[in-house]
Amino acid sequence: MNMNDLIVKKRDNGILSKEEIRYFVEHYTGGSIPDYQASALLMAIYFQGMNEEETYELTSAMRDSGDIADLSSIKGTKVDKHSTGGVGDKTTFIVGPIAAACGVPIAKMSGRGLGFTGGTVDKMESIPGFRTTLEEKEFMELVNKNGISVIGQTGSIAPADKKIYALRDVTGTVENLSLITSSIMSKKLASGSDAIVLDVKCGDGAFMETLEEAEKLGRLMVEIGNADGKKTVAVITDMEQPLGRAVGNSLEVIEAIDTLKGKGPEDITKLSLTLAGMMIFIGGKAEDPEQGRKLAEESLRSGAALEKMRLFIKGQGGDPAIIEDYSLFLPSTYSVEVKSSTSGFVQKLLAKQVGLASQHAGAGRATKEDAIDMAAGIYLSKKTGAPVQEGEVLATVYGNNKEKVQAGARQLLAAYEIGQKAPEKKSLVKKVIGI
């Protein structure tokens, strides 16, 4: 079999066979196919797409490229939560402790930033001392002891995805239904959880910009998950503007902690309770999602979820003192305020532009090798619907590289659209698939 033949076949809108897909996955993972040929095939897939059978075969091949985790030594129904990628999406740090506090074991593997979206592993590593790489035995012991552990994707779990994921991030091949599906579900199916809640983002700041695209992605992932014997639910949620007010690694962890203290922004609190309620339900600890949500709300009120966060951080070598003292995070040297040039209301706050601004400020990567500035990011003082006066601060950009912070501020200004009439409020949760 010849890689060039596969590239030409998909370029010309051909259908790749199971054998051809497995050839690509196996040999690219093994190193005999160079990045430039893999990039060419990914770009051909990006433009020509894949049918459902090709997508299923790609997912299966990537799942089978490494080990399938055995979490049977962890007591209870293990529930995983995954977001398709958004801006300011720090829900893992909120829903994980909430669900764990309600008796649902969380044994989760997460990824790094992709394109203009932030990555859970990058955010966790902003916590002083926090380890995202654990031996399998320690990982499972922590889940049994504390109810929760979240680690980076190991080299033995879907290694094909780890390699393809990094390449897509820097070759403009992120926003494709089949590539997103295979990336997410190969990891989820190999990670060993019994059930999966998928947060499928929809809007300007999502890889799926329309509700129709998001529903297609959600249904495809639910079908693949259920076919593999895992109860899978997809929640379609709005990503027209960033979630919460913080965008960037340590800034988002701080906001997540605030939310666990009951002081978080309304949107991130509402979404986290919805997702956690769904996890509690499919984890067998509630009769329906509504009861699951009530249990989630109680874990916030009682402080049980915050205590789980403390145990989670301590268990993985992080300093739990950050929960009370945010100054323990890496500080930023520079900050630039972005101010409004007119009065009115924020008509739009384009999530993708905010994500790019955060990336340009140093919070994300432009290449696979780039280092991330953990202190870089954005705090949004004004979001969609907020009244604003001329000269008022819309947002503040932070970081440790002056030029990057200034570049991020210029990019951020383009994310705001100010008008004279307050816009209608949009629903945060648009649809649930699989219930």
345 strand-pairing partners: 387, 419
DSSP, res 117: B
Instruction: Note if 183 is an active site residue.
Output: yes
User: Which residues, 6 or more positions from 111, have their beta carbon under 8 angstroms from its beta carbon?
Assistant: 119, 120, 121, 152, 153, 165, 187
Is 11 designated active site?
no
Question: Is 142:315 a contact under the CB 8 Å cutoff?
Answer: yes
**Active-site residue flag, 186:** no
Token pair listed for 34: 């160079």
Q: Are strands 195-202 and 393-399 parallel, antiparallel or unpaired?
A: unpaired
Choosing from 183, 191, 193, 332, the catalytic residue is 183
Helix axes 35-48, 159-169, angle to 10 degrees: 80
**Options 90, 168, 188, 230, the catalytic residue:** 168
Q: How far, in Å, are 44, 175, 208, 217, 303 from residue 41 at the CA level?
A: 5, 15, 21, 21, 50
**Of 81, 187, 285, 308, which is the active-site residue?**
187
From 175, 164, 153, 155, select the one nearest 21 (Cα to Cα): 164
Is 360 part of the annotated catalytic residue set? Answer: no
Beta bridge partners of 196: 80, 232
The string of DSSP letters for 30-82 reads HTSS-HHHHHHHHHHHHHH---HHHHHHHHHHHHTTS-----TTS-S--EEEE
Query: Which residue type, as a one-letter code, is found at position 428?
Result: L
Calpha distance 345→180 (Å, rounded): 35
Q: Is 187 a catalytic residue?
A: yes
Spot the catalytic one: 78, 82, 231, 383. 82
Task: Considering the candidates 80, 89, 122, 161, report the single residue annotated as catalytic.
Answer: 161
**Which residues are identified as catalytic?**
82, 161, 168, 183, 187
